[in-house]
Amino acid sequence: MVVSDSPSPGGHRTPGPDPKLPSDTHPPLGGATEAEALSRQVQDSLVLGTRHRFWETQPVGQFKDLGDTSLPDGPIEPPTPRSDVKQDPYNLPAPYEWTTCDMDDEQTCDEVYGLLALNYVEDDDSLFRFNYTKEFLCWALRPPGYFKAWHIGVRVKATKKLVAFITGVPARIRIRDDVVRMAEINFLCVHKKLRSKRLAPVMIKEVTRRVHLENIWQAAYTAGVILPTPITTSRYWHRSLNPKKLIDVQFSRLGARMTMSRTIKLYKLPESTVTPGFRKMELRDVPPVTRLLRKYLSKFVVAPDFDEDDVEHWLLPRENVINSYLVESPETHDITDFCSFYTLPSSILNNPNYTVLKSAYSYYNVATATPLPQLMNDALIAAKQQDFDVFNALDAMENETFLKELKFGPGDGHLHYYLYNYRVRNGLKPSELGLVLL
């Protein structure tokens, strides 16, 4: 298991309404051509001397097995009796000790926030760093049935300073016809000054041990790097909401033969939403939204198995965390459509005029009576009304059907999806993936 490590927070990178793909990227993976693309990336990584010794010892899809049709889908290793699971934590280097991070405790929450804000994912050019808020972290780490023991920190024994962090939360993920209890692994972060201490592999083994103690043997995670072996790879797309600021902070560039005034005009949105019955989701909407979402997600090969408690937690609006809207038919009052996006700001580094990039990330969207491009354009308008600077979306689910029409541009960030101890023999296309990991 490993961090849900999103690609860089600087999407960079939309030099106009229809930018060209960077020359060093490959197409998203999934299916026959996607397997070939993955093989090429694997070979590229081997040429660079990259080895995955740790992952070659783990029950994950291995590069050497790509294309082997004799291997079955499903668990790679059977579960073992819980009594056989190692009962004591793994040993850390002598100066460090394990700690369980109680996200209900204000001081601990401040410590976790501070560690991530200064040491978590940056873009390659050190222009942006993810800045998950405390409210977001409490939402992300406390879903129904969560285990406090899965919020794992490492402290310096002498000072008690928190210097590393990794988390898991429980989930039910449906893979084809099987609903599997899993852990979603996220927020692997080691203080910059300790990156040479080899803490990460021990942390991964420790969170795996604690997950196994709850009789859970599979996990889902993402990474911005190629590991053995993605089930699919999705690309981030970016829609400018505040193009002048995005260009000023070097998130995007002014397109060829484009002026700033023409760019601002190009991305201008209506002042108000256009779909009749479009409104914010409320608590009373949880049952119909759950029904709508479950039916929609059933069409994908891999997707969460949400019940009403999950929908209430993950999708009911929370200020500065999650925004959810729906369409209530003015005639029948049925809930026919749904869209949502979460708030993930980034710190803007070394810029004299700006400190925060306010980014919206597309979450789960369902269109049945309203055309999806129209529904998502209303989501863009709602985000613009709340002063978001950019709206990001993966090309997973049915998102590809609206991206170009709504003036999204492809970024240079790819997100690789992985399963631990579960084989999906043939890679998925992004459009077969119905799962969004934070």
Burial 323-355 (b: 16+ CB within 10 A, else e): bbbbbbeeeeeebbbbbbbbbbbbbbeeeeeee
- Lookup: tokens for 290: 């759950």
For residues 13 and 412, what is the distance between their CA atoms, to the nearest angstrom?
A: 7
* Number of C-beta neighbours around residue 281 at 10 A: 23
For residues 178 and 353, what is the distance between their CA atoms, to the nearest angstrom?
A: 51
Task: Label residue 421 left, alpha or beta by phi (over 0 means left) and psi (-120 to 50 means alpha).
Answer: left
For residues 407 and 337, what is the distance between their CA atoms, to the nearest angstrom?
A: 22
- Lookup: tokens for 266: 């190009």
* Number of C-beta neighbours around residue 397 at 10 A: 26
Q: Label residue 319 exposed, middle or buried (CB < 10 Å: 0-12, 13-18, 19+).
A: exposed
Q: Are the C-beta atoms of 29 and 232 separated by less than 8 Å?
A: yes
Q: What is the DSSP letter of 17?
A: S
Catalytic residue among 344, 372, 428, 438: 438
* Number of C-beta neighbours around residue 119 at 10 A: 19
Q: Are the C-beta atoms of 379 and 339 separated by less than 8 Å?
A: yes
Catalytic, 438? Answer yes
For residues 44 and 42, what is the distance between their CA atoms, to the nearest angstrom?
A: 5
Torsion, Cα 287 291 296 300, to 10 degrees, reads 100
At residue 343, φ and ψ (nearest 5 deg) are: -100, 120
At residue 93, φ and ψ (nearest 5 deg) are: -55, 150
3-class state of residue 340 by DSSP: strand
For residues 426 and 428, what is the distance between their CA atoms, to the nearest angstrom?
A: 6
* Residues constituting the chain: 438
Residue with the two structure tokens 């089930």: 231
Catalytic residue positions?
Answer: 438
